[in-house]
Structure 1
Amino acid sequence: MTAHEMNFDGLVGPTHNYGGLSYGNVASHSNSQAVSNPREAAKQGLAKMKAMMEMGFKQGVLAPHERPAVASLRSLGFTGSDSEVIAKAAKDAMPLLSAVSSASSMWTANAATVSPSADTSDGRVHFTAANLNCKFHRAIEHPVTSRILGAMFRDDAHFAHHAALPAVAQFGDEGAANHTRFCRQYDDPGVEFFVYGRSAFDSRYPMPEKYPARQTLEASQAVARLHGLSESGVVFAQQNPAVIDQGVFHNDVISVGNAEVLFYHQDAFLNTESMLSELDSNLERLGGRFQGICVPRDQVSVSDAVRSYLFNSQLLTKSDGSMLIIVPDECRQNQRVWSYLTQLTCTGSPIQEVKVFDLKQSMQNGGGPACLRLRVALNHAELAAVNPGVAMTPALYERLVAWIETHYRDRLCDLDLADPLLLVESRTALDELTQILALGSVYPFQID
């Protein structure tokens, strides 16, 4: 194999809390205002990264953002010292303080859309930071996300970085949570699969009635153009509006793909048969053999899928060519989902193994294994050009565990967000982290 898929997991930030900020995300809303444990959350995510490394997969770390985001509060009219800004926001606009304290950057599947060099017109890996403009607490992320990605993938000979799309409703972009790629080998030309919830300009496309459709067709088309993708190497598909209204806020809550396999729920898409036919013909043209694994609704309902996050899983190719699926413990706790997975691995499916991880702190806030990682396919030269400080190793794991133990609280509720010491603790931790990961100055408090 001359290329690898490297997963970059988001490190949970020191202000991890349950703000219930994401309308349409059932898990996030149902746990709103519960007491969180940032230390446990960060260690749970880090344990998954370590396990991936030990299984032989290429694994990296994506740093969290500075929170509370005092600069965002200042842009909304709060003045004074940093502690005074936080105090005023807590007194007059607590929902705003909660939003700018969110640790949502941990879900790096929303950080950007990534196209490997085998697919792009200039032969470089392309990154477009997601504008995430549907939610205020996420819309403030992309400037720092771009700086962090730039510090991780610095070499212009191998990597190209694009700014987020215009932050307007017509170009709502949620990143890799609505994007996957099919190929024979990771360095072969592939078919990039963009899933959207609505069209901003064409009323013929059906819309959900209850929850917002966050990804637009126009945003997906723009990213494909920015990345220099060929028309024959791209497939656009619409998510089923009915499943969005059941809490499927991103496509990675109802399907997941890897290599030549798409694992999806029966109700995931509109016009499913024509979409599958297009994927099959496009991949066949490149020498591949597309395989769709459809999970029937009479075995696993959409509600079961949302509660268990069956599809918000990681589908990985092992060194022997077989596939492994990484699922949260909630899948094992759901009898119907676990029965389906047990049956799946015993029936000649390309998915031959299931591994379960405890990610309760993230799951309670609405993010599972797939939310926590950004996938980047890299050939050997590109892999060598990645900032080595962000690559997971046994030594980095031990250092990050010690860092978490030193800087993270083990209890956080909404009232704690008004504590000015939380900002000091967070900045102290992140300043040290940039040195551990060799990122340089990427946070506003380091630059301004």
Structure 2
Amino acid sequence: MKSYEVNFDGLVGPTHNYGGLSYGNVASQSNSQQSSNPKEAALQGLAKMKALMEMGFQQGVLAPQERPDVAALRRLGFAGSDAQVIERAAKDAMPLLVASCSASSMWVANAATVSPSADTADGRVHFTAANLNCKYHRSIEHPTTSRVLGAMFADQQHFAHHAALPAVAQFGDEGAANHTRFCRDYGQAGVEFFVFGRSAFDTRYPAPQKYPARQTLEASQAVARLHGLSDDGVVYAQQNPSVIDQGVFHNDVIAVGNGEVLFYHEDAFLETDKMLAELDAKLGKRGGNFQSICVPRSQVAVEDAVRSYLFNSQLLSRADGSMLLIVPEECRGNERVWQYLQGLTSSGGLIREVKVFDLKQSMQNGGGPACLRLRVALNQTELAAVNPGVIMTAPLYGTLTQWVDKHYRDRLSENDLADPQLLLECRTALDELTQILKLGAVYPFQIN
């Protein structure tokens, strides 16, 4: 039976803004307080989805969240009508209003961790929504994320959903941004690769000194247990604390994997040789031939990798067995990174082509091509069981671009977030979107 890796891209929400909320994310902080263009951001993301679909890749879409999150503000003591809650938050605690308006759910690499049926004990595809408890503006996402994923992957014969881990520091979980999977074929048993920044309970593991390590070893282990993964199909690796302190807030900012290949920076991990040997041995036992591409620091410094988001790229398998790398425009704008990529693709190695996409609106807030997609490996039967409304087609692309043009603003500043009309615009747009994507009632305003 044929199997596929389906990329479900996050649709940028109507309140996309530059709040500078993510400490440790250099791009997010450096562009704080600038005016954003939600319409352009959404259209840029849709253009990438359409392009990959036209290249022959399976592509889906994952809906944004209701923002501002008035219910979250009510839990923090703001009372009255929705308009009054927004007005009082803007007057007394503007940072909380900004956080409640964040469109960060667009980066669905953080939405969940996904294990394909070939790896799990019960033969179903497993999803665990990420608690994202390191950042308040992201910690409020997982209840809606779980409902949206449940509406997309509803058939319990094929899909299993787990609630987010306990929202405490010891189980900080950032989803697929710190998880990848190696396999010979998407439908065959593979090796799931969990990368953590620190251990909550074992002091033998060093921790970064400047920026927080968002993923714990204990969270990764808990997800592996929930998904019914076997020990011989899992590898845990620690992210290098020094690169976290240089702005590598997730592993997908310094490494990306697909199929049998890991593309990574020389400074990405601790005990790299040991990790590579374990991946090679475990994948070999499952019929795979593990291969790695190390980018030397002498050619690309960590700083250049962070600024260009070289590794926050999509590494895609083509029909001829070669690989395609999808990178943001910022890679072409960095001389050292672009020179490296030109050499990489001309060498006749595994990665034969690089395609560049303009994702400036997302990039300025600290998320590139890989942040915008959640990878789900599905066989033909499972793909047929996915809600068909979320699978990208040419007609759906046309409908969604019209929907964005109708509902989104082309400029949004911090002061605009205090406008109660923005909430009404968002709810009107999302109510229409759930009908387009056939999701049913997934948002609080539709349920309550």
Which interval holds the TM-score relative to the shorter structure?
over 0.9
Question: In 2, distance between residues paired with 1:399 and 1:38?
Answer: 17
Q: For residue 178 of structure 1, what is the aligned residue in structure 2? A: 178
Q: For residue 135 of structure 2, what is the aligned residue in structure 1? A: 135
Superposed CA deviations along residues 392-436 of structure 1, whole A, max 9, x for unmatched, are 000000000000000000000000000010000000000000000
Q: For residue 207 of structure 1, what is the aligned residue in structure 2? A: 207
Question: In 2, distance between residues paired with 1:305 and 1:318?
Answer: 25
Superposed CA deviations along residues 284-327 of structure 1, whole A, max 9, x for unmatched, are 11111100100000000000000000000000001222100000
Question: In 2, distance between residues paired with 1:112 and 1:276?
Answer: 25
**1:390 partnered with 2:394:** no
Q: For residue 347 of structure 1, what is the aligned residue in structure 2? A: 347
Q: For residue 405 of structure 1, what is the aligned residue in structure 2? A: 405
Residues 198-237 of structure 1 correspond to what in structure 2 (within 5 A)? 198-237=198-237
Return the offset for 1:99.
Answer: 0.1
Counterpart of 1:398, as a letter, is G
Q: For residue 377 of structure 2, what is the aligned residue in structure 1? A: 377
Return the offset for 1:389.
Answer: 0.1
Superposed CA deviations along residues 365-407 of structure 1, whole A, max 9, x for unmatched, are 0000000000000000000000000000000000000000000
SS at match of 2:297: coil
Return the offset for 1:349.
Answer: 1.5
Question: In 2, distance between residues paired with 1:348 and 1:180?
Answer: 25
Give structure 1 regions of 4+ aligned residues with deviation exceeding 2 angstroms.
none
**1:104 partnered with 2:90:** no
Count residues in correspondence: 448
Counterpart of 1:436, as a letter, is I
SS at match of 1:12: coil
Superposed CA deviations along residues 1-58 of structure 1, whole A, max 9, x for unmatched, are 7100000000000000000000000000000000000000000000000000000000
User: Structure 2: where are the runs of 5+ without partners?
Assistant: none
Return the offset for 1:348.
Answer: 2.3
Counterpart of 1:247, as a letter, is G
Question: In 2, distance between residues paired with 1:303 and 1:407?
Answer: 38
Question: In 2, distance between residues paired with 1:376 and 1:157?
Answer: 16
| Overall identity of the aligned pairs, in % | 78
SS at match of 2:346: coil
Superposed CA deviations along residues 169-222 of structure 1, whole A, max 9, x for unmatched, are 000000000000000000010000000000000111001000000000000000
CA RMSD of aligned residues (A): 0.5
Q: For residue 241 of structure 1, what is the aligned residue in structure 2? A: 241
Q: For residue 188 of structure 1, what is the aligned residue in structure 2? A: 188
Q: For residue 312 of structure 2, what is the aligned residue in structure 1? A: 312
User: Structure 1: where are the runs of 5+ without partners?
Assistant: none
Residues 75-114 of structure 1 correspond to what in structure 2 (within 5 A)? 75-114=75-114
Return the offset for 1:117.
Answer: 0.2
Question: In 1, distance between residues paired with 2:246 and 2:214?
Answer: 14
Q: For residue 281 of structure 1, what is the aligned residue in structure 2? A: 281
Q: For residue 61 of structure 1, what is the aligned residue in structure 2? A: 61
Question: In 2, distance between residues paired with 1:222 and 1:348?
Answer: 40
**1:291 partnered with 2:291:** yes
Return the offset for 1:61.
Answer: 0.4
Question: In 2, distance between residues paired with 1:276 and 1:347?
Answer: 23
Counterpart of 1:35, as a letter, is S
SS at match of 1:345: helix
SS at match of 1:298: coil
Question: In 2, distance between residues paired with 1:290 and 1:321?
Answer: 14
**1:22 partnered with 2:18:** no
Q: For residue 123 of structure 2, what is the aligned residue in structure 1? A: 123
Counterpart of 1:147, as a letter, is R
User: TM-score if structure 2 supplies the norm length?
Assistant: 1.00
Q: For residue 9 of structure 1, what is the aligned residue in structure 2? A: 9
Return the offset for 1:346.
Answer: 1.3
**1:154 partnered with 2:169:** no
Counterpart of 1:359, as a letter, is L
Q: For residue 416 of structure 2, what is the aligned residue in structure 1? A: 416
Question: In 1, distance between residues paired with 2:30 and 2:268?
Answer: 23
Question: In 2, distance between residues paired with 1:342 and 1:120?
Answer: 39
Superposed CA deviations along residues 67-121 of structure 1, whole A, max 9, x for unmatched, are 0000000000100000000000000000000000000000000000000000000
**1:251 partnered with 2:246:** no
Question: In 1, distance between residues paired with 2:439 and 2:343?
Answer: 45
Question: In 1, distance between residues paired with 2:195 and 2:364?
Answer: 25
